[in-house]
Each structure stands twice: as structure tokens, then as C-alpha cells.
């Protein structure tokens, strides 16, 4: 059946999980569903992505969730939800291992709720059928090297020696390695590349759990690409961004290969990563992103990109990198933006399913589309925080959530056991 005939385009009310039926029809038999967010600190984005993910897992057999997070930290979640030995007994305790700023992105009650659901869903399934949870990002250079060293000391002392050489190379720059790109010393590229080659040569023989070779290889991939990322991070071009997003897609592809020919992936990342960069001003700056690359590498029917946005509310963010997290106001969207247009026409939650052949679609022209990062200044929003976007080409579908609120970081609930209500809408 032709794609145009297999789903209904248009706008639909969005109140509960059953209102996602048009999106499920649009997804069809796709193998990659990328779910965005317009900030890293909004409760509703996490809650609705959880709802979509649960339906994809239960109804369409999706294999894993991959997120904009560090591999070592997310792999702890993966081990917990699959009930591996010594993986922990409480989701909040596992999530508190996320210590790199911004901790609230994954150490929050919304993810604790999803983690508990995934652990319960996995009960009774064979190991190869259990749903996974993985991090795609490139930032965890030291954590990945330390994880490799801990594992390879026992499994492969020769490869462990290569890890020590890499650590010694990076040590002069400190754990944040922000000075690496400014250093006059020889890069550490040869050390991490040698490490990756050795691990790929031997990984099949490593014995711990069925994912040990995967875990080892991806930690080594992080080391290689983190070195490239940090070497480029102070340049004024798009190189560091492109290294990061290309790494995330390479990691996603490795996960798909690991899970077999029938694998299906759910990806959670910011709109700036999952919304096709070719339909924003990112293209003019020579930038690519995850959504663009996944579309380019796969048949059109296999990829569905879902953006998110809201009109007004509150958000968790910091005033500067590394600052204390705060709940901040999100002012009404600026006039003429995607969010203001949707609010003005109908101030309620909506699901938009796009038909790319519809030339009369009001979102077929360039409009400002809000994007809030982990650093945010609400008073300056009208002068920034908007990406020129052709909405119905950047995404295949869009969730507009009129009024939103800040998510619930774990450490703001010090008792560690009382989970707040994280799904305010009826199922």
C-alpha cells in the first residue's frame, strides 16, 4: 500500500494514549522512530515520549530505546531493566549515578517511572527479547575509559594496557579535557584508535554477559570520537557538532546490528538532533544531524521523525553551564512562530500528521520554532531560542502541548522513594 494511503494526515486532539492512534498508523512498519523535545527539562515531553514508546514496544515490537545520554550511565539502566546480576534493585538509586551536568536530563522521576515499567515489561522474556536502553552521546570520554579498564583488567590484560596508555595521554588535560583542543601536544588519536582496533579484533571472545562485547566496543568508539570532538570543540565551524551527531548515528547503527535484522529503534533526543537539519538554517552552516543522517541511510518508509513543542509553561535549566538547576518560566511563544500559530488557532494539545505532498499546508513555509537548551535565559528568548524551520518537512509528525511544566529532578525529592505523579492525563 502506498504511504499516502496508509495513514490520515491532519490535526487531531491529544488528551490520552488512545489519541496517539493516528501516529501509530503513520509509523506503520517503520524501523526507526525518533522522538524529539523542545527543551531538556519539560515534564510533558518525557511523559508523552514514554507513552509513545510503550505503545511502540507493546504493539509494534520495538527493540530498544536510545537516548541523548552517555553510554556508561545509560548502560547501567540497561542492566537494571534486564535484571542483570548486581544491577541494583531500585530505579532511583541507578539513576542517581548520572553525575555529569546536566544531571536532571536522565536523573528524574519521569525516567524512573519509565525504567520501572521497562523492568516489569522485561520479566519473563528471554535475554535476547528484552527491551534495551542505551546512550548515544560522545561526552563520556573518561567514564568510558574507566569502564573499559575495569572490565579489561580481568578479560584482556593486553587491551587493558592500551586503555592505560590512552588515559595517560589525556591526563594532562584534566577530566573535562576542555584544554585538549588548545594544546600543542600531539593528539591522543593513535592511542584510542589502537584500542578500538584491538577490541574489535577480540570482542567476540569476551565473556561476561551477552552484551559485554557490545558494551566494550561502544566504550572504545566513544573514546575515539570523543577525542575527535574535543580536538574540534573550540573551532568556529560545524565540525564538532557533526562529529557528535555522526557518532550518535554510528552507535545507533551498531545497536541495530546487534539486535538483528528485525530490530526496531526508538530514539529520544532534542529536536535539534532528530528534526531533519536540511529544513532549518543548520544546513546553511554546514551542519548535519541525526534525523537527516537516519533518513539518508534508510528507506523512506522505515523512518518517522516526531517533533515536540509548547506555547508556555515552566522548565528546568541552568543560567550557565554547570550552574545549579532552576525552575524557570517559559514565556508565551513569539508572534509568528510555530508555537504561537498553533496556540492562536486552537489553544489545546494537538497531534499533527504531515502529508509532504500537501502544498497548502500552513507549515510548509519557514517559521521560527522554539528550541530551549540546558542553559536558558527566559528574558532573552525573543532574541534567540528559535530555529527557522519548515515544520512539515523537518518532521513527519508533531506534538503540540499548549501548556507545559518543569520535570521532576530526582534530587529535589530527597526521600528517594516517593515518586510524584508523572502522568497527569488520563490513559
pLDDT surpassing 60 at residue 418: no
Task: Quote the pLDDT of residue 219.
Answer: 93
pLDDT digits (tens, 9 = 90+) for 135-173: 999 999 889 999 999 988 888 888 899 999 888 888 877
Q: Other CB atoms closer than 10 Å to residue 23's CB: what's the count?
A: 24
Mapped onto helix, strand or coil, the DSSP state of residue 403 is strand
pLDDT surpassing 90 at residue 187: no
Fold annotation for 3-57+264-412: EreA/ChaN-like  fold (3.40.1660)
pLDDT surpassing 70 at residue 179: no
Residues found in the chain: 427
Nearest to 264 by CA among 35, 57, 58, 7: 57
DSSP codes, 165-195: HHHHHHGGG-TT-TTGGG--SPPSHHHHHHH
Share of the chain above pLDDT 70, in %: 91
- How far apart are alpha carbons 153 and 295 in whole angstroms? 40
Q: Residue 328 is placed in which grid cell?
A: 524557570
Nearest to 196 by CA among 170, 172, 225: 225
Task: Quote the pLDDT of residue 137.
Answer: 96
Residue extent(s) of CATH 3.40.1660.10 domains in the chain: 3-57+264-412
pLDDT digits (tens, 9 = 90+) for 278-328: 999 999 999 999 999 999 999 999 999 999 999 999 999 999 998 999 999
pLDDT digits (tens, 9 = 90+) for 108-120: 999 999 999 999 9
Residues 6+ apart with CB under 8 A from 328: 314, 315, 316, 317, 376, 378, 406
- Classify residue 42 by its DSSP letter: B
Largest Cα span, the chain:
64
Spatial contact of 80 and 88, defined as CB atoms under 8 Å apart: yes
Q: Compute the C-alpha angle 317/67/255, nearest 5°.
A: 165
Mapped onto helix, strand or coil, the DSSP state of residue 357 is coil
Helix H or strand E encompassing 309:
strand 303-317
pLDDT surpassing 60 at residue 66: yes
Amino acid at each position: 500500500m502506498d504511504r499516502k494511503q496508509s495513514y490520515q494526515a491532519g490535526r487531531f486532539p491529544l488528551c490520552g494514549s488512545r489519541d496517539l492512534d493516528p501516529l501509530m498508523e503513520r509509523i506503520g512498519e517503520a524501523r526507526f522512530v525518533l522522538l524529539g523535545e523542545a527543551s531538556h527539562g519539560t515534564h510533558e515531553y518525557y511523559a508523552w515520549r514514554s507513552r509513545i514508546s510503550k505503545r511502540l514496544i507493546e504493539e509494534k515490537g520495538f527493540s530498544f530505546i536510545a537516548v541523548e545520554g552517555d553510554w556508561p550511565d545509560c548502560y547501567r539502566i540497561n542492566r537494571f531493566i534486564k535484571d542483570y546480576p548486581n544491577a541494583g534493585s531500585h530505579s532511583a538509586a541507578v539513576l542517581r549515578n548520572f553525575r555529569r551536568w546536566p544531571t536532571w536530563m536522565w536523573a528524574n522521576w519521569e525516567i524512573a517511572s519509565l525504567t520501572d515499567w521497562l523492568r516489569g515489561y522485561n520479566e519473563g522474556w528471554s535475554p535476547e527479547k528484552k527491551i534495551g536502553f542505551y546512550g548515544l552521546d560522545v561526552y563520556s570520554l573518561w567514564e568510558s575509559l574507566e569502564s573499559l579498564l575495569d572490565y579489561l583488567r580481568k578479560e584482556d590484560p593486553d587491551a587493558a594496557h592500551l586503555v592505560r596508555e590512552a588515559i595517560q595521554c589525556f591526563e594532562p588535560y584534566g577530566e573535562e579535557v576542555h584544554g585538549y583542543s588548545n594544546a600543542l601536544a600531539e593528539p591522543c588519536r593513535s592511542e584510542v584508535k589502537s584500542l578500538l582496533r584491538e577490541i574489535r579484533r577480540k570482542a567476540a571472545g569476551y565473556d561476561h554477559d551477552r552484551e559485554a562485547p557490545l558494551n566494550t566496543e561502544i566504550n572504545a568508539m566513544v573514546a575515539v570520537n570523543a577525542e575527535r570532538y574535543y580536538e574540534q570543540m573550540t573551532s568556529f565551524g560545524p565540525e564538532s557538532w557533526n562529529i557528535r551527531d555522526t557518532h550518535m548515528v554510528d552507535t545507533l547503527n551498531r545497536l541495530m546490528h546487534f539486535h538483528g535484522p528485525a530490530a526496531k529503534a526508538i530514539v529520544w533526543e532534542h529536536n535539534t538532533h532528530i528534526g531533519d537539519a536540511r529544513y532549518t538554517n543548520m544546513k546553511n552552516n554546514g551542519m548535519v544531524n541525526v534525523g537527516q543522517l537516519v533518513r539518508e541511510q534508510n528507506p523512506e518508509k522505515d523512518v518517522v521523525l516526531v517533533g515536540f513543542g509548547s506555547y508556555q509553561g515552566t522548565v528546568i535549566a541552568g543560567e550557565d553551564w554547570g550552574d545549579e538547576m532552576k525552575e524557570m518560566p517559559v514565556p508565551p511563544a513569539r508572534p509568528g512562530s510555530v508555537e504561537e500559530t498553533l496556540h492562536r488557532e486552537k489553544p489545546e494539545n494537538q497531534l499533527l500528521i504531515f502529508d509532504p505532498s500537501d502544498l497548502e499546508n500552513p507549515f510548509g513555509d519557514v517559521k521560527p520554532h522554539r528550541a530551549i537548551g540546558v542553559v536558558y535565559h527566559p528574558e532573552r528568548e525573543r532574541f534567540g531560542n528559535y530555529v527557522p524551520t519548515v515544520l512539515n518537512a523537518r518532521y513527519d509528525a508533531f506534538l503540540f502541548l499548549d501548556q507545559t511544566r518543569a520535570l521532576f529532578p530526582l534530587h529535589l525529592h530527597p526521600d528517594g522513594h516517593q515518586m510524584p505523579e508523572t502522568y497527569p492525563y488520563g490513559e
